Chain A
Amino acid sequence: MTWHVDAGDLRAYAQGELAPPMLWSADTHLMACAECRETLASVGDPVSLDAGWERLDAELDAPRPGLFERMLVRIGVADHTARLLTATPVLRRSWLGAVVAVLVMSVAAAHAARTAESPNLFLALAPLLPLAGVAVSYGPALDPTYEMAVVAPLHGFRLLMIRTVAVLAAGLGLNGLATLALPGYGLRALAWLLPALALTSTGLALSARLGPVLAPSLVGGAWVALLLAAHAHDAKATLVPFTAAGQGVAAAVAALAGGLLFLARDRFDRSRSARFQSDHFRGTAV
């Protein structure tokens, strides 16, 4: 061993006061370092020391958290929340790969039609990706543990919000990277952001009543219908949702839907049960 755990940290470890990620680091080190285990035995009182050994014993079974989970903990996310975040069903390579493919294609289309005032196809698709991601991150469609999660005491709204943050961070991050590939359009290439927030928050607010499938489907459909109507009105100009006025409306919708979602937070726990019944099990439950 080229390094050893600091005596103060060992004392904190023995008393159960060491927090992740330092705790994980100490766990891993103590498993391999006899010298530190000896020091640990000398710095703690017998009762807390027994608890420390027990914890170390249990840690031997625990898998090492993945890179993303460790990063989350390093930036201050509680380890149990980090675990919930990394277990979000859509944050898998297949989903992220599909999102990247859509973005690459829409960016390529924008480059091909460089004469256009705005990268309309990219701006139209980019807001739909986080909406779809959030829609499938909490519900029977893609979450294999949905039925267990529904009857767990962790509030459904909290789990939904945790997953929404995870999907939004990933989705908006990828969209942001794609935007960087369109430098010629300046800030106009960022006109997807407010519509993305508006669509996602509206989809979530409606899902409390309509369920995790119907609500985002309706919102996505309405967005596409709006864009088609705007395109039919004037195909050459910047589509209305991406103008300054459209951006203002999107910001207002996002704020309003966010407020409604907050008001519906308690109701959400009940209605998800109803959705569970109608979306997933109708005709198969009995």
Chain B
Amino acid sequence: MTPTVSASGLSLRYGGTRALDDVSLRLTQGVTGLLGPNGAGKTTLLRVLATAVPPDSGAFTVLGHDPGSSSGRQEVRRRLGYLPQTPGFHPDFTPFEFVDYVAILKELTDRAARHREARRVLEEVALGDVRGKRIKKLSGGMRQRVALAAALVGDPGFLVLDEPTVGLDPEQRMRFRELIARAGEGRTVLLSTHQTEDVAMLCHRVLVMAGGRIRFDGTPAELTARAAGRVWSSAERDAGAKAGWRTGMGTFRNVGDPPAGAELVEPTLEDGYLLTLDDAGAEVAA
């Protein structure tokens, strides 16, 4: 599949911290998950790709446009939908007013067209019924949907979502996943998340970041396969395991390098993720 977003050698320092360290990637249409612990560089990568922050070095293109030049950056921004980690709202705005405002920022100046677009995206995220209510009176899940609606204004080809499911209860998370899955049809979505379930359910591809670098780039099945033969069950906590916990069945589930004769169990995406981070930590320490 032809890449819609290509980046090569992206690096960025904040003071003494190397937030991005020679990051290269290629994204295609569909939802790509970006996993990583706090401080991994996920948000920084999203901000760079969203043209909010220029990289110190490296280059990237979005839908064929190079944001290195002023005109290229404008073209990228015209094709971009961005949901920041903590989206801010004017407190007295209604969802309709807020989306309308964002539509103006996205250069939709014709009032009638703008209002049609506001209505369309609010319907798309199932907020048509509360479009006239003050945002400050909406639930956290609804506010996230307002922010997603704003990101969808103008039908962007590249959608950047920074931890949109944080703080949502399971039902809200499930609703949000439906919306993201729908948004991923026909466009490129980069979804940063801490939730491996989000990735397992939504993404055709997953990137794992740690220490400002991409540590894994492949399908969720390939990430899960990294833990094949490295997850086992035991009656007691295994001191040699990198991680282990008692399950509801009363046995211990261990992740790491199993001892001889261990009772191996099916790995999950989370196991693969944990082992990838562990391998990255060893590499960083070395």
A residues lining the B interface (CB < 8 Å): 16, 20, 23, 54-55, 58-59, 61-63, 78-80, 83-84, 87, 89, 143-155, 159, 266, 269-270, 273-274, 276-277, 281-283, 285-286
Can you list 12 contacts pairing A with B, beta carbon distance less than 8 Å? A55-B112, A63-B94, A84-B101, A144-B91, A146-B88, A147-B84, A148-B82, A148-B87, A151-B77, A153-B105, A283-B17, A286-B212
Which residues of B (71-119) have their CB < 8 Å from a CB of A?
Answer: 73-74, 77-78, 80, 82, 84, 87-91, 93-94, 96-97, 100-102, 104-109, 111-112, 114-116, 118-119
Q: Known contacts A78-B109, A147-B82, A148-B87; can you find 18 more A-B pairs with CB under 8 A?
A: A16-B112, A58-B119, A62-B118, A84-B101, A87-B90, A143-B88, A144-B91, A146-B88, A147-B87, A148-B88, A151-B52, A152-B106, A153-B74, A153-B78, A270-B70, A283-B15, A285-B43, A286-B40
In the complex, how many angstroms separate the beta carbon of B111 from the nearest chain A beta carbon?
A: 5
Q: Are B88 and A154 in contact (CB under 8 A)?
A: no
- Pick the contact of B116 from A58, A148, A152, A155 — CB < 8 Å? A58
CB distance from A48 to the nearest CB of B (A): 12
A54→B39 CA distance, assembly (Å):
48
* A55-B116, A148-B102 known; A61 vs B132 contact (CB < 8 Å): yes
| B116 to A: closest C-beta gap in Å | 5
Chain B min CB distance to A167 (Å) = 16
Across the interface, do B112 and A273 meet the contact criterion of CB distance under 8 Å? no
The interface centre, meaning the residue of A89, A145, A149, A283 with most chain B CB atoms within 10 A of its CB, is A145
B115 to chain A minimum Cβ distance, whole angstroms, is 4
Q: What residue in chain A is nearest B36 (Cβ atoms)?
A: A286
State how many angstroms separate the Cβ of B191 from the closest Cβ of chain A: 17
Docked complex Cα distance between A144 and B146 (Å): 14
B19 touches A149 (CB 8 A): no
**Residues 12-65 (chain B) with a chain A CB within 8 angstroms:** 14-15, 17, 19, 39-44, 47, 50-54
Nearest CB of B to A89, in Å: 7
The distance in angstroms between the C-alpha atoms of A61 and B123, with both chains bound, is: 12
Of all chain A residues, the one with the shortest Cβ separation from B43 is A285
Which B positions have Cβ atoms within 8 angstroms of A? 14-15, 17, 19, 39-44, 47, 50-54, 70, 73-74, 77-78, 80, 82, 84, 87-91, 93-94, 96-97, 100-102, 104-109, 111-112, 114-116, 118-119, 122, 131-132, 150, 212
Contact status of A84 and B54, CB under 8 A, knowing A145-B88, A266-B70, A285-B19: no
A148 interface neighbour in B51, B53, B84, B132, Cβ under 8 Å: B84
Once the chains bind, are B15 and A282 in contact (CB under 8 Å)? yes
- When distances are taken between beta carbons in the complex, the residues of chain A under 8 Å from B97 are 63
Across-interface contacts of A144 in B (CB, < 8 A): 88-91
**B54→A62 contact, CB < 8 A:** no
Give CA–CA (A274, B150) in the complex, Å: 24
A80: contacting residue among B52, B87, B89, B104, CB under 8 A: B104
How far does the alpha carbon of A269 sit from the alpha carbon of B259 in the complex, in Å? 58
Docked-complex contact A23 and B96, CB < 8 angstroms: no
Selected from B47, B90, B106, B132, the residue in CB contact (under 8 A) with A63 is B132
**In angstroms, how far is the closest chain B Cβ from the Cβ of A115?**
46
Q: Give CA–CA (A286, B43) in the complex, Å.
A: 6
Asked if A83 and B88 sit within 8 Å, CB to CB, the answer is no
| Residues of chain A lying within 8 A (CB to CB) of residue B109 | 78, 80
Nearest-Cβ distance from residue B211 to partner chain A, whole angstroms: 10
Q: Identify the closest chain B residue to A152 (Cβ).
A: B105
Of B19, B52, B96, B108, chain A has the most CB atoms within 10 Å of the CB of: B52
CB atoms of A153 and B54 under 8 A apart: no
CB distance from B223 to the nearest CB of A (A): 22
Q: How far is the CA of A83 from the CA of B118 in the complex (A)?
A: 14
Q: How far is the CA of A97 from the CA of B17 in the complex (A)?
A: 42
Residues of chain A contacted by B87 (CB below 8 angstroms)? 147-148
Verify A79–B111 contact, CB threshold 8 A. yes
Q: Tell which of A89, A266, A274, A277 has the most Cβ of chain B within 10 Å.
A: A277
B94 touches A151 (CB 8 A): no
> A78 to B41, alpha carbons, bound, how many Å?
41
Contact partner of B14 among A55, A147, A150, A282, CB < 8 A? A282
Contacts of A266 in B (CB 8 A): 70
A59 touches B115 (CB 8 A): yes
Does the CB pair A286–B17 fall under 8 Å?
yes
Query: How far, in angstroms, from A273 to B77 measured CA to CA in the complex?
Result: 13
Q: Are B104 and A273 within 8 A (Cβ)?
A: no
| Chain B residue with the shortest CB-CB distance to A56 | B112
- The residue in chain A whose Cβ has the minimal distance to the Cβ of B85 is A147
Q: How far is the CA of A20 from the CA of B26 in the complex (A)?
A: 46
Q: A58-B119, A144-B90, A153-B74 are in contact. Are A283 and B14 (CB under 8 A)?
A: yes
Q: Whose C-beta in chain B lies nearest to the C-beta of A155?
A: B74
Given contacts A145-B101, A148-B82, contact A154 B106 (CB under 8 A): yes
B105 near A148: Cβ-Cβ < 8 Å: yes
Residues of chain A with a CB closer than 8 A to B131's CB:
61
A151 with B54: CB separation less than 8 A: no
Residue of A nearest to B84 (CB): A147
